[in-house]
Structures are given as C-alpha cells and as structure tokens.
A and B are shown apart, each in its own frame.
Chain A
Amino acid sequence: MRIRCVGNTRQLEAITLVMVGLAVATAGLGITMPGDPLVPQLAATAMLLAWAGAIRVFLRNRSTREKGLSLGTMAVVGLMLTLLVGADLGGHILTSKQLPYEVVLLILTRDAALTTLVLSGNLVCLRLSGGLSVAVMLFSSVITEHRLIHPLMIGYSLIGGYWLILLNWSQLEIKLVEGMSSRPPIVAVLVWGLLAGLFTVSVVGPRQALGVLAEWLATSGGTTRGDEDTRSGVGDGPNLVKGTERAQSTGPTDSDVFLETQERSLYDASNEKWGEPEKRINRDQSLAVAVESDLRENTEEKAKQPNPAREFSVVRKRPRNASPPPSIAASSAYFLKGETPVHISQVTFDSFDGRRWAQPVFRTESLELAAGFGGWLQLPPSLSQVWAGDRDYRVIVGKIDSPLVPLPSYTSGFRIDKVDRSSFFRIDQPGIVTFRSDAGLPRQTAIEVRTRSVDPAKLRSLPFREGARYALPRFLTLREDQPPGERPPSAEPLWKVDPRVPQLARNWAGDRPRGWNQVEAIRDALRANYRYERGAVLPVDTRDAVATFLFDQHRGNDYAFATAACFLLRSLGYPCRFVEGLYVPSGRSDPVSGQTPVRMPEDLHVWAEVMTPGGDWVVVDPTPGYEVLGPRQTVFARVWGSLDVLTSRLMNHPVVVTEVALAAVVAFVCRRRIARTLASLAWRLEFRGAPRRRVVATLRLLERHARIAGRRRPVGITPRRWYPEACVAIDGPTRQSLDGFLRMADWAIFAPPELPPPEISVEIGARCRVFARSCALSWFVPEPSTKWRHQLPRGLNRVVALGLIGLGIHIHTGNSQGASQEPPPSPTEPRAVSDLPELPANVWAGPPESVSKPAPSAPRVASKFRRLDPYEEMSSVERINDLTMQGLTAAWFFVMGVSIGSFLNVVIYRVPRGLSVWGRRSHCPRCGVGLSFRENMPIIGWLRLKGRCATCRERISLRYPLVELATGLIVLALLQLELLTGGTSIPVREPNAYAGVVWVIWYPKWDLIGLFLYHFLLLATLLCAALIAWDGQGIPKGLTILVGLVGVISPLILPWLHPVPPFIERPTWFSAFGFGPGELVTAILGGMVGALAGAWMSPGRRAGGLATSLGLAGIYLGWQAATSIALMTALLKLISRAVFTRRSSDRSDVALGAVATLVQVLFWRSLAGHSSTLALAGTALLVIVVGMLKRAPLPYQRSEAQERCSPVVPDSGPQWETGSNHSGNEGP
C-alpha cells in the first residue's frame, strides 16, 4: 500500500470559478440601479467572468510549458488583468457620475476576487479568492433588493459549502493511502446534513423552526434592526417603501430626502396615470387637537370669495397687517431671477358690475402651446411690431399650491426640464398658462422663461383704431352685460358707468392723437391726481366703485386705480381688461444669488392691460409707485448708468474711497519694490535647467532691475559694456561679483555650445543664486527710500503702533465684511437672520439633498447637524447607534490622521535631504536599527519607548508624536467643522440640509468629501512646509509643484472644490460640472495674491517659504481667502516679532502662514473672503507695512555669508527618522 504524493486542485479551481461567478453576478445585481435593465449588467458580468477564465486558462497553459513564468507571460497576464479591472471600474465610473461608496467598494472587491481567481494556481490566492467572494456576497446582499438575490444566496451557500469541503479534501488528498476513494463524500454530507436538519425540525417542531427562520428575515418595510416594521407584517419589504418595484407605492425614489417626505415629485405631477402618494394620517393627533369651533356669521363682505378665480371684488376690507414670516426663503411663493420689476398675470377679468369684476362664463379661443426645440413650449406668436428684445427669467416654485405657471408678462416661451409635452399645460386666457394637475407644480420646480420687452416708442407709433374693429366687445363694454334672464328677480338693477367718466377721459386725453399717447396720458393723469394708499378702501355701501374713487374719494388702493383706468380707457375705445397677479418690484433681489423672492399675498397686485391692434395685451399700471419694465437698454445707456452708479457709490462711501486711495498711494510709492518682488518671483520660476539657462535667467533679473531703476540697457550694447557703467553705486566685492557674473553671461549668450563654461558647472548655479540675492535696485541709483525708512518708528513703539493699526483695520474689516455677508435690509420687511444665498441653478439636475428643501439657515443646520431627526424623537436604539457611529467615525478619522502624520514626519525629514520617502524602513539614525511594528506605531510607539531608542537609548525628539497628534487633530477638526456639519463652515456653498455621519459619509456627499480631502491636503502640506522651514531647510520644489498642480487641476475637474467664485456674481461660464475655466481663474488669482503677499511680507533669503505656502493657500481657497490669510499672517507676524527674537521669527514665518490657513479653513464662513474694497485696502496696507519692517539683505554682509557657509542645524535634537506604518516590511 502506498501513499499518494500529489493532490488534484483542478476541480477545486472550477468550483472556485463557479463560486466567484455567483458572487460577481450578485454584485452585478447590487450595482444595477433600480429601474435599469438587468440584461446588460448580467451580460457584462458574464463577460468579466469569461475574460477572467480566459486569463486563467492562458496562465495555466503557459505555466505548464515554462519552468518559471517568463517575462512575456507576466507582462501579458498583467496587461489582461489591468484590462479586466480597468474595464470594470472605468466603465462604471464613466457611465455613472456619482458612485456611492458601497458600489465602489463592491466593484473593487469584485475585481480583487476576480484577480485572485485568475492567480488561483497558487493556493494562497485560491483561498483568498474564496474569502473575497464571501465579502462580495455579503456586501451585495446588503445593498441589493432584487428577487433573484435569494436564489443566488442559496446557490452560493451550497457551492460555498462544497468549496470548503473540497479545500479541506485537497489537503487531505496529498497523503491519502492509495486505494481509498479520493473523492470527497458529498452524497454522504448531503444525506447526513438533511437527516440532521429533519431531526432538529422534528424535535423543535416545524412551526417553531419556521418561526425562528422568519424572525431572521426581513418582512415588510424597514431595513435596519431598529425599525418597527422590520419585524412585523408580510409584504414585499423595503421595495414597498422605496417604490422600486411598483411606481404606485410612492413617488420620488432614490433620494434620501424624499425617502422621508410626503411631498409630490414633478414626475407625479406630470403623469396623469399615477395617483397621489399615500399619506399617513395621524388620526390620534387629529382627534386630540379637535376643538369646538365658534365661527360666527360675518356680516362684512368676505375678502376671499368662494370662487376666487371667477370674481374679484373691488370693495374689500382693510388688509390686516400680518406678522412677518420667520424666513423669507421659507414663505416665498416663487423665486425669480432676472430683470425686475415684473408683472406676473394670474387671472384676468373683463366684466364689471360696479363692485366686482367677473370672468366670462365661456372659455376663450382654444389656444394651444407649441412644442419648440429643446423642450421649450411656445406660446402663440404675436403679430404686433412693438417688441424690443428678449429677456430671460428663471422662476423657481416655492411654497405655493397653484396650478398656475408663473409667467411674466409678454412671455414668448417657457421650459420645465423633463416636462416637455404641451399637453401637460393649458392656456386659460391669453398669456396665462396653467398646469393640468390640480395641485399644481411641486416645489423647487424651475421654469425657464423667455419674454419679450415692449418698446414704448413703437407703441406710440402704432395706429390704434376703434377698439371694436379688432377686439371682442366684452373688453370694451362700459356696463354690466349680464342677460336679464339669468339674473335673479331680487337682484339690484344693472350697473352702467357714470357718464362723467368718459368726459374725464376725454379731458385727460386732450388733443393727443389717438393711440398709445392717449393711454399714457390717462395713466399719468391717474398717477398724478390720485393718491395711492395701500389701506384705503372704498365704502362698503358703494354701488359704483369707479365713480366713488374718481369723483369722491380721490384716493384708493390698486384695485381702484386699475378699475378706473380700465373704464377710462374703455370709454375712449381702447379694449382693456383688469388683471390680477403678482408684482415683483426691483431692488429687492438677493445680492449674492440674484434671486428675488415673490411672496403671497404681499406681492399680489392688480393692473390694467390694453390690447394692441396685433392682439397683444400690454400692461398699463396706473398705480403710483408701480413701474413697468421698459425695453432693454443699449450698450451706451448701460455704460452711462454704471458710471452713474459708480459715482454715487464712491460718494456714499468716503471712508472706503480714502482707504483705497491710501493703499493706491502706498502701492505707488512702493512700486519699485513691488516690481522688484515680481522680478524675483519670475527669476525663481525661470531659474532651472542647464547652467547656461540659469545664467541667462539671472541676467534677465539684472536687466529687469535695471529697467525698474530706469537704466534700461540700450539696444546694441552688450551687457558686458553696459552694466559696469550703469551700476554706479557699487564698488569693492560687489563690483567684482558683477564682473564675474558678466563674464559668465558672456559665455552663456555668445559662446558656442561646445565651449566649456569659465567656471565649474556645479558652481555656476550657486554663484548665480548668490549674485541674484545680492542684486539690488540700489546698484543703479542711490538708495531712494533710505530717508523715508529712517522716519519710520523704531523698536517696540513701532511694533505696538503697527499692531494697533493692523488691529484697527482688522476690526473694521471684520465689521464691514460681516455687513457685506448680510443681505441689504429691505425697508418694508425685516430680513431673515441668515438668508443663505443662491439656490443652485440646476435645481432638478443637481444633487438632490441640497435642493429638495428650501435653504435652511446656518444656525439651524449647525444645531441639527449629525442627525436627521431631533435627538428627542429618536428611539434609544437609534440614539445608541448614532452615538456609536459618531464615535467610531471620529476614532477612525483620528487614527487615519495620526498615521498620515507619521508619514508627514518621514516627508519632513527625508524630502529636504533628498532621501527616498519609500525606500527604507524607519530606523534610528544613530544605531541604524530598524523600528519594529510596535515601535513604529504613531504616538503609542514613542510613548512605549519613553522617548528613547530601544537599542542605543538615543533621545527621540518630542516633535514626532506632536506632529502626529497635530495631524490627527487637524483631521478631527475638519471632520467636525466641515464634513459632519454638512459644510456650514464653507461660504457661498449652501450647506447640506441633511448632515451627520450617516448623511454625509454613509450616503457619501462626494462634493463635501472632496472638499475635506482637498483642504486636508493643503493643511498637511503646509504643516510639512512649516516644519521643514523651521529646520532651516528650503521647501522642496517637487512637493510644492505637486501639491500646487493638484490644487489647480482638481477644481478643473470638480468645480465644487472652489465654492467661492472669483467674482460675487457667479459668471455664467462657471459650469457646475466638467471643465470650468473659471476655476483656473480662481486658482491663478488666488495663487498670485497669496504668493505676492507672502513674498512681500518675508523678503530676503527666506522669501520662498511664506510665498510658497500662502500661494498654495490661495490656489486652494481663492483670492478672497488669500487676502484674509495674508492679513492674519501679518498680524501674527507682528505679534511674533514683538515676542520672539528676529531669528526665530524668520524661521516661524511659514508656520504662522500655516496657522492662519488652518484658522481660515476651519472658520471660513465667518472669515469669508476679505473681498470688499475696504478689506482689500486694509489688508494690502498691513501686508505692505509688515513687509517694510524687513530690510532687504545687503550684499555680502557678514551674517549672510556666515549663514551660507555654515549649514543650519535644527534645534529639535537628533533626527529620529520615522516611517509610515505600512512599511512593516523592508523595502526592495
């Protein structure tokens, strides 16, 4: 009898393929969005599996032929695997804009399982693929709600069990005694398993067994254990709630907001086949609040008619002064964006009985909307020749339930995204369109409207013939025209217009020619001779409201004005109608968003409209104070108007103007210095590459200096000839240095390429650098500002004085900036406490969570951040879950931050020294012994070692754990202030209504997460830069360029990373998605502002550090924030100069900039954008003053030379090199 020596894993591999295939198919179900067709996803899954199988077969064939895998085979397999993963992941990323976490995780795990399946010739990979398939199955089963999931899970369980048996058996097989069956006893397992199951069921009882199983399974509703519905009832589970199976169940789906709301969606409203969403009626509550009503008969005529759309009484009660709503945004009926004032017609009336207007009983002509290009619906075209140009409006539906489509006057067409069929709408009366659904448009529906504008000059030249020729008689009638048979016998006699009215009209019209001039005359006369009073009402017992207003009372509200205008115009033969609607006044728009809230009933208004011979109704608003929008202005008029506005603004803000002027004067005085700074910056950018190029760059710097000093080199004279003569103010070693440099410059410019340089090429760069640093404007002219500098206050007095100036400017700036954040107060309405700016433009296409609710105020968001429901309404289980999740998330983020901090330590130590970051494992620099895994753990490792090397007892600097801790704390602060609050710390961008761990991280809000990562990258880089600068090293260029490039390129792809646009009015070319050139402007402007401020504040040898860090901050945060950071840095510098010595103050420049940036990022909304002119002027002044405190280093000063010669030794003790945690193994 012998023992087998080899096992057969082929069957095991096949079963693994099947198992992974099942898991991959389930993952495909999970990835498929509800409603998407299943077949393509399954086909894609099958292709993935087939491809993986093909790679496996290829690999097996090759490995049997080759002794060890050849390079070609490895390359081919690597390529095929890359194709596999790339196609899977890339396909999903390309086809879907926003992939949730779980889907990304699922795709990655699935690809990992497929990859290990391909490599399953290795037993480790084979086992790993099995384990990964379990993970895929688990995640898929959690996120999938498909009916196929249960069969797939059962199949996977069976196959998985078999796989485990085979895996065990394959190890057993190797030493199996020959002659015994080498097949695993599957039948025996099945039989005995079934028998055991039956036995258990028979002992426990079938009912109990089923009951236990049912307890574990989801039944109806709810997805978490905390839900009541999870454990009761029978139904189709979460599908009923989500509406993924049957659309009737609920309306909006797949939106975390609409999961919790009962509001209708636009789709509900636009599909007549669907019913209303079910609403849960809380009967208990209804009963509890039912109280006995004590309604009494109201003898006065009700303002609100039973059928308000049919009748409009001119005689009414005095309007009550309603208490102002808590928030304008919350109570507004519509939000309108576009030029104001605007009249929005709602109802028109044509017949009047002396007291009230009425609509005709019969319908008007049947007019149809025409479907235009791109979803636009066109109203019937006009034949009049009175139009001047088009205007575009955008109306967003607010809190109103009305079927009316809010269209401004003279609308030519409108568009509602995705509702592009004309049959959804109906033209009630000319210019008035209603939505066919009774409840009207849902909230947040955005309507794009295109209107025409009327040119009064064209109107005046229009021939108005007698009205009856082109208009229906009912628009001309001057009496109640109800047929006598329809009137009740008890009714009062018919009303007829007072004969004095036509007379008055004729008097007012005078001798003007018939036409629009007469209409204007009537309007102007009404405005001039009658007084508008909002509260003025006509007497209750009046029979003829028109006569009472015109001849008795002489004052009235807009009802009276409009009615009188109608009858005055009708008496002259102009067809006229009475229109009720909304009037959107000018000057009330939100300065940031440009939207004007339209409120009900405050903005209700009535006016008259006159029909032109072309059949168009033109607004005539006789009420004083109510304007009609004129035609579009010409370019010249607009320029003139803006100049006018500018002048008035300047006159109104003398302080600001003075400060700007002061800043401009200072800038002018320091213009040479500014120009010199710019030239140095340009030199820094150019100074790279071959020695010849470096010499030329330095020569260019010299030329720029000469140009600034007014000693420009004439054309035709070589530098060698010009500069020794031009530099009149130098001698001694400086002149020698110049001569030496000019020799090099001669070589760089004129020498043929093969001629070697006069110096050793390594030294050329260093010599150029020294020359550039010593190069000064004073070479060409005597020092211009010496006298002025001597007049500056000296010593501590100077510091205190400048500090006070800075503080004053900062306080002033903060006040003015705070005021500019607030919207301008309206004279009639108190503003809301914080009215958040600008609803997103693409309301329905944008992220749902930010638009489906009206913008909440920031404090409210801050108070309810982290949870959806108020804390008191949460059950104890939910509360525990919530707290656990918060704690775990914070802990996880802290650990990640600390680990990144450990990596930053490596970067800080190794990168300036030119060492590889990845190369070597962390080790003690003295004894060279590598750190163990435990010793290398951030913070804990240091504490365990008690600050000394375990081998040689060398002291380890405390800085390492401190940097790690600081990084962890930065991450935590960003998490708490920026991420979990839904972005309340970020200005301009509207904070998410739903915040907290669940709604930001679990249902990932990629824009917020992107901002978090973006800002963390900036802060981490600045931390590195600060510590590198503190050690006396230069900030590595590679690091700066890399981080800067990330900062510039990322917002081009993801524009939301720059929430603050470069201009307050966000230009239209700022796209919400995709490539946006505006982001480039933000980055470049910000970078320039930051770099300039930094370079100015820290001149001399170390200018690069602060300029780099502030430039990076500007790139990441925009120029407004850069000014704010520059201001804070300047203040901090003043303080540090007062407290510390000059040398340490020099080294701490970058650290101060980093601290300022941290404060700015964390409290961005409060400090947001010093973008007002005052703030800018103050900042510029302070920055310039701080920069002036430093003297430019004189060439070849002793200290300078010493610093160059002696390397700077860091103070922080011996450098203990720590490595990142993942470097547990030795590097290659």
Chain B
Amino acid sequence: MKHGSIASRLSGWPISGVAGALPHRSRLHGRLLRLRHVLVESDHFSFVNRYLPWRYPLGSLAMVGIAAALCGWFLNVQAFTLVVGVAAVMASGLVWPWLSVHAVHGRLVFEQSRGVEGRPVTARLTVTNYLPLGAWGLRLYGGSEGWASHESIVNLAMIPGWRTTEFTFPFVPPARGEYPMGRAALGTGFPFGLWEARLELPTDGRLIAWPASFELDGVPEAAASDRTREGTVYQNRSGHGGDFLGVRPYTRGDSLRRIHWPQTAKHGELMIWERQASANVSLQIVLDAHEAIHGGRGPDGSLEWAIRAAASMAKTFLDRGALVELLVGDVRVPMGGGKRQRCQVLDALARIPSQGGPPLERLLTSSSVLRFSSGLQVVLTTDRGIAGVPVAHLHRRPMHLIIFRTSAFDPGVRSVTEPEPLPSQTWFEVAAAVDVPSSFCRAWREVLHAN
C-alpha cells in the first residue's frame, strides 16, 4: 500500500476525502455522504480512546466476558457458559502468540545499503523455529519508529516447526531515513489477533532510504558562477561579456552600448552585439528544517516536501556537473561535485531528523551562507519561517527563496484570510499541497525561462 501511495505522491495526487470524489453531486447526496462519513468513518471520540480498552480486541472481549459474568450472576447462570467460552478464547489468544514468538529466533539482512523511499530493496529474513508447532501469522516490524508501531513491513503466513527458513522479500521503505527504524521485530497475534507478542530481531547492515526526487528541466542562468575552475563542464551563456558570438536584432531593454552600428547601417535596423562566456555552475541549498515552521506531519508535511525538493535540485545540478553545497540544520555538506558528493548530500537529507534544527535566522547568519559569493543560493523555507527573519538578513545577499505555504500542508488549518505578502527575494512559492512535484516543476520552468 505504501508503495502505491508514494508512487501516486510522485506522479499524480489523488483527491482525498469523500466530498470531492465525484464532481457532479447534489447537495442532498453530499449530505448523505457526509452523514455516512460521520457515522461510519469518523472517530468522534478519539480523545477518549486511551480510556476505552474495549476499542481493542482483547478489551472488547474482556468486556463481553464481564457482561456475561454479570448476566450470569444476576439473571441466568446459562450466561456463565459464555464466560467460559470467552475466557478460553482469551487464554488461547494470549498463550499461543507468546509461545509462538518465544520459540523463534531470526535475523534480518538488507542486501543494499542505499535505497529511495517508496522503491523496493531486497531484504532477507532468516528464522529458526524451535517448536514442533508451526508459527503462523507473523508480522515483521521496523518500518517506522517506535516499538509499538502498528504498520508492519511484511507479513509471513507461516514458519514451519523444527527448522530454519529463509525469506527473501522486497522491502519498500515507506519514508526516507535509516532502516530498520528503531529495532526490527517479529510479532504474531495468531490465532485470534487479540494481543500481539513481539520478538526483537538482530539486523545485519542498515539501509539508508534517500528522499524521493523528481526531474527538473535544467539549471537556471543565475547559477552561473564567475569563478571558473578547470576541469568542470562549461555551459554556454549569452551575455554582456566573453567571446563575440554574433549579432541579433535589437529588443527593448538592450543596452545602447551594445549596438553594432555597422550592421545597423547595413540592415537598416538596430542590431546588437551577442557575446558568450563560459561559466562555472554552483548551487548552495539552505534548507530550513526547524520543526515549528513547517506545516503538516509525516510524509505529506511541508518539511518532507522541502527535503524532496532539495534532493531533486541537488540531483539535477550534480547530474549536470555543477557544484553543490548543502546547509541543513547543524549539518553542512561542503561544496563539491560528482557521485561522492551526491551520496553525501542525499545521505544528509535522508538523515534529517523530523524534529529539531536551528531557526532560519541562524542559518542565514552562518559563515558559509555569508561567504557564498557567486552561484545560485537557494533557501528552502516556509512562510512561517520567513516571517521570523529580519528583513536586513534577507537583503544582505542576493538569495533566492523557495517558500512553501504551511497553510496548504496543514490539514487542521483552514485559512480564509488573505495570505501574507512574501519578500521580494522570493523566487517562487509552493502554495498547494496537491501534486507538489508538478507544481514545483512548473514553477522551476518559469524561473528557468524568466530571462
């Protein structure tokens, strides 16, 4: 399921919610659907869930047992039969999983050390069962943090008794990060799923899942650096300096100094010198990962999308031979190029913790930002992040801001007021959480061809 959802996240965004699924719908129909949603799908009392043990299978069965015992006590002893039945089910539902799990030893191995979120990598699980009894209905955990997480990586129907079995299966990292998250565990609730017994698994090797990235069209002119370096790939660039390339008709805005008078005389209209210069391309990505400024949580929050955007930019630039420097939180990946740099940048992006990171103001005043002189300096932040930065810091350097609107990513906030005006350095903004990759690519294309 995760596989599918990540693929869809990157390709096209499904419209969530009930109300928006069908466009042509009467008001009554909409109300009925909402009613169904309210009656069947909503959890109205989620805040009291932790006080309600009967919301979980074991608790609900225990409640049945208590009710039957009360009925038996006060009304009819026949109800004690049900108490016995429920007690038997509960006992076997507790003892069986405990036995199954404690008779099993195993080990989890990832065959690759790098992967991308949402794309499968091969994993191998070796399990030994010491009981003559098979262990059924096992779940492998480790896909998300926390021992009590409910989402399993993969499920196994059965581990036969008295033997060692090896399973190879595709492991799809549900999100960027380092796997197994926390500790890998094997659990089973078989037969009744009332309670799950778990066993910790030792793991060989770790898997770093990079953030997913999307293809960007090209590198903007602004990324050209004045400093040239030998050995790097040049990129042709038309402009005011460099070698003479040719002439072209005058367009509004061209400098009068660049008018090629002889050709003007010859053609009878204004002609302009066209020059080109080779330039080095360098990119500095400043990613604001401060927890408080981002909207939404999990894989659809603005932080994750900012990380994916940073990964996409870094990949695009490195693929074209540019130099890339990453500044995120307290981590700085120095300027560099090539495959090694790509690994380092993406690893750093994969390891960004979901919480923490200094505020943007501190990043902008750091020496690496201030020293960055030529090339493209991109700051990925949100409207909330930029609001906390003094204007003087923004004007100190010609930086390009890519701003994510937090209100679009935060499902709890329905902003009805006009959005806050953004500073003039804003390159473009991502104002909708729907289909972020295409809107980002579109905006990228616009700034690419702006000149």
Cβ B169 vs Cβ A1 within 8 A: yes
- Taking a contact as CB atoms closer than 8 A, the residue among A71, A192, A885 that contacts B28 in the complex is A71
Contacts of B26 in A (CB 8 A): 71
Encoded as 1 (CB less than 8 Å from any B CB) or 0, chain A from 163 to 189 comes to 011011101111111001110110011
A131 to B78, CA, bound (A): 20
Residue of B nearest to A137 (CB): B82
Contacts of A168 in B (CB 8 A): 137, 189-193
Cβ A138 vs Cβ B67 within 8 A: yes
Kindly state whether residue A640 has any CB partner on chain B within 8 Å: no
Contacts of B192 in A (CB 8 A): 161, 164-165, 168
Encoded as 1 (CB less than 8 Å from any A CB) or 0, chain B from 5 to 24 comes to 00000000000001001100
A225 to B77, CA, bound (A): 7
Cβ B136 vs Cβ A185 within 8 A: yes
Question: Which listed segment binds B: A117-125, A445-453, A615-623?
Answer: A117-125
Report how many residues on chain B are interfacial, defined by Cβ distance under 8 Å.
69
Kindly state whether residue A1063 has any CB partner on chain B within 8 Å: no
Contacts of B256 in A (CB 8 A): none
Kindly state whether residue B449 has any CB partner on chain A within 8 Å: no
Kindly state whether residue A1085 has any CB partner on chain B within 8 Å: no
Cβ A122 vs Cβ B40 within 8 A: yes
Kindly state whether residue A141 has any CB partner on chain B within 8 Å: yes
Question: Which listed segment binds B: A216-224, A535-543, A982-990?
Answer: A216-224
Contacts of A1206 in B (CB 8 A): none
Say whether, besides A138-B67, A142-B75, A933 and B155 are in contact (CB < 8 Å): no
- Taking a contact as CB atoms closer than 8 A, the residue among B44, B64, B156, B158 that contacts A185 in the complex is B158
Contacts of B84 in A (CB 8 A): 213, 216
Kindly state whether residue A153 has any CB partner on chain B within 8 Å: yes
- Taking a contact as CB atoms closer than 8 A, the residue among B22, B89, B153 that contacts A161 in the complex is B89
- Taking a contact as CB atoms closer than 8 A, the residue among B40, B89, B168 that contacts A119 in the complex is B40
Name the distance in Å between B33's Cβ and chain A's nearest Cβ.
Answer: 7
Residue of A nearest to B21 (CB): A68
Residue of A nearest to B22 (CB): A68
Residue of A nearest to B136 (CB): A185
Name the distance in Å between A485's Cβ and chain B's nearest Cβ.
Answer: 71
Contacts of B22 in A (CB 8 A): 67-68
Cβ A177 vs Cβ B191 within 8 A: no
Cβ B77 vs Cβ A217 within 8 A: yes
Name the distance in Å between A325's Cβ and chain B's nearest Cβ.
Answer: 40
Contacts of A74 in B (CB 8 A): 29, 32, 36
- Taking a contact as CB atoms closer than 8 A, the residue among B64, B77, B155, B172 that contacts A172 in the complex is B155
- Taking a contact as CB atoms closer than 8 A, the residue among A68, A125, A223, A1225 that contacts B76 in the complex is A223
Say whether, besides A125-B40, A137-B82, A142-B76, A177 and B190 are in contact (CB < 8 Å): no
Residue of A nearest to B42 (CB): A1225
Encoded as 1 (CB less than 8 Å from any A CB) or 0, chain B from 135 to 164 comes to 011010000000000001111111000000
Name the distance in Å between B18's Cβ and chain A's nearest Cβ.
Answer: 8
A96 to B168, CA, bound (A): 65
Kindly state whether residue B109 has any CB partner on chain A within 8 Å: no
A542 to B194, CA, bound (A): 98
A688 to B42, CA, bound (A): 44
Cβ B193 vs Cβ A216 within 8 A: no
Say whether, besides A124-B40, A142-B78, A224 and B73 are in contact (CB < 8 Å): yes
Cβ A164 vs Cβ B152 within 8 A: no
Q: Find residues 221-235 in chain A having any chain B CB closer than 8 Å to their own CB.
A: 222-225, 230
Kindly state whether residue A1228 has any CB partner on chain B within 8 Å: yes
Kindly state whether residue A633 has any CB partner on chain B within 8 Å: no
Contacts of B335 in A (CB 8 A): none
Cβ A167 vs Cβ B72 within 8 A: no
Cβ A218 vs Cβ B193 within 8 A: no
Cβ B170 vs Cβ A2 within 8 A: yes
Name the distance in Å between B427's Cβ and chain A's nearest Cβ.
Answer: 40
Name the distance in Å between B28's Cβ and chain A's nearest Cβ.
Answer: 7
A222 to B154, CA, bound (A): 54
What is the number of contacts between chain A and chain B, taking CB atoms within 8 Å? 171
Q: Find residues 1-59 in chain B having any chain A CB closer than 8 Å to their own CB.
A: 1, 3-4, 18, 21-22, 26, 28-29, 31-36, 38, 40-42, 44-45, 47-48, 57
Cβ B78 vs Cβ A164 within 8 A: no
Cβ A172 vs Cβ B139 within 8 A: yes
Cβ A1228 vs Cβ B40 within 8 A: no
Contacts of B181 in A (CB 8 A): none
Q: Find residues 103-153 in chain A having any chain B CB closer than 8 Å to their own CB.
A: 119, 122, 124-125, 131, 134-135, 137-139, 141-144, 149, 153
Q: Find residues 56-80 in chain A having any chain B CB closer than 8 Å to their own CB.
A: 67-71, 74
Contacts of A216 in B (CB 8 A): 77, 80-81, 83-84
Kindly state whether residue B92 has any CB partner on chain A within 8 Å: yes
Cβ B76 vs Cβ A224 within 8 A: yes
Kindly state whether residue A326 has any CB partner on chain B within 8 Å: no
A5 to B154, CA, bound (A): 11
**Max chain A CB contacts within 10 Å: which of B3, B189, B190?**
B190
Name the distance in Å between A874's Cβ and chain B's nearest Cβ.
Answer: 15
Contacts of A5 in B (CB 8 A): 1, 3-4
Say whether, besides A172-B137, A175-B155, A71 and B32 are in contact (CB < 8 Å): yes
Cβ A138 vs Cβ B40 within 8 A: no
Name the distance in Å between A1150's Cβ and chain B's nearest Cβ.
Answer: 37
Name the distance in Å between B42's Cβ and chain A's nearest Cβ.
Answer: 8
Contacts of B33 in A (CB 8 A): 68-69
Name the distance in Å between B299's Cβ and chain A's nearest Cβ.
Answer: 18
Kindly state whether residue B448 has any CB partner on chain A within 8 Å: no
Cβ A3 vs Cβ B154 within 8 A: yes
Contacts of B89 in A (CB 8 A): 160-161, 164
- For this complex, 20 residue pairs linking A to B, each with C-beta atoms less than 8 Å apart, are A1-B168, A68-B18, A68-B22, A71-B29, A74-B29, A122-B40, A135-B64, A138-B64, A141-B76, A141-B81, A142-B76, A165-B192, A167-B193, A174-B1, A175-B139, A175-B154, A176-B154, A176-B157, A182-B157, A213-B84
Contacts A2-B169, A223-B75, A1228-B31 aside, 17 further interface pairs with beta carbons under 8 A come to A1-B168, A124-B40, A131-B60, A142-B71, A142-B76, A143-B75, A153-B81, A160-B89, A168-B137, A168-B189, A175-B155, A182-B157, A185-B136, A185-B158, A217-B77, A1225-B38, A1225-B42
* Chain A residues close to B by CB (< 8 Å): 1-3, 5, 67-71, 74, 119, 122, 124-125, 131, 134-135, 137-139, 141-144, 149, 153, 157, 160-161, 164-165, 167-169, 171-177, 180-182, 184-185, 188-189, 192-193, 196, 213, 216-218, 222-225, 230, 238, 881, 885, 933, 1224-1225, 1228
Q: Which 4 residue pairs of A and B lie closest in terms of their CB atoms, listed nearest first?
A: A168-B193, A180-B157, A164-B192, A218-B77
